[in-house]
Amino acid sequence: MTPKRRNIAKQKGEQKREAGVSLRRFAITYLTLMGVFFILIGFEPILKLIDINGLYTQAIVAITARILSVLGIASACRGSIIELFSISLDVKFGCNGLEAVMIYSVAVIAFPTKWKKKLIGIAAGFVVIQIVNILRIVGLAYSGIHARNLFEYIHTYIAQGMMIAISLGVFFIYLNYVKLTGKVVPQQVTHL
């Protein structure tokens, strides 16, 4: 093998190792941050100080009830419950969009790029995910009123998985944004 080919082969081997280390670092960072965020929203001593999930849910429920009223569907909200004339929807964690926002935001934070891009990505992703989530809850309310026999099917098999898919899709859009607006921040690679 010529020295030039050996050098190319060596560079390719180093790139593969760096990619493996970067992927490992992303996964470790992602899992660690998800753990931290779940502790922040579910750990009892923190809940006594501030119930992030409860406040978040109440805001989503109030916005959704207002949109339903604007659309001509009589609704009222009480805590995490949207009351309609024929059905009440209890919006819980996983249905309020917070889980989808956490999945997306943690992925953005774990991805190696500049903090300015991360903050832009988190803000834009939050808005997109919540708009889709509120529309999803409105759709569930509509199905609960007009297609009651399909409500559980729509809620369980379509609406729940949709938010995770939306989070992933928005993350792919964010990755494209990072790619188009500049390079990924190089990380110091430690060979193990």
pLDDT digits (tens, 9 = 90+) for 153-183: 999 888 888 998 999 999 999 999 998 887 5
Confidence of residue 82 (pLDDT cuts 50, 70, 90): very high
Residue-wise pLDDT tens digits, 14-53: 555 555 557 888 889 999 999 998 888 878 888 788 888 8
How remote is the C-alpha of 129 from its chain's centroid?
7
Confidence of residue 190 (pLDDT cuts 50, 70, 90): very low
What pLDDT was estimated at residue 42? 79
Domain boundaries of the chain, sorted by first residue:
18-181
Q: What is the pTM of this model?
A: 0.78
Residue-wise pLDDT tens digits, 113-130: 899 999 999 999 999 999
- Report the range of poorest mean pLDDT among 14-18, 71-75, 113-117, 185-189: 185-189
What pLDDT was estimated at residue 51? 86
Provide the b/e sequence for 18-35 (b: ≥16 CB within 10 Å).
eeebbeeeeeebbeebbe
pLDDT at 139 over 80: yes
The Cβ of residue 129 has, within 10 Å, a number of other Cβ atoms equal to 22
Q: What is the mean predicted confidence (pLDDT) over 125-151? A: 93
Q: What is the DSSP string of the chain?
A: --HHHHHHHHHHHHHHHHHHHHHHHHHHHHHHHHHHHHHHHH-HHHHHH--HHHHHHHHHHHHHHHHHHHTT--EEEETTEEEESS-EEE--TTTSSHHHHHHHHHHHHHS-S-HHHHHHHHHHHHHHHHHHHHHHHHHHHHHHHH-HHHHHHIIIIIIHHHHHHHHHHHHHHHHHHHHHH-PPPP------
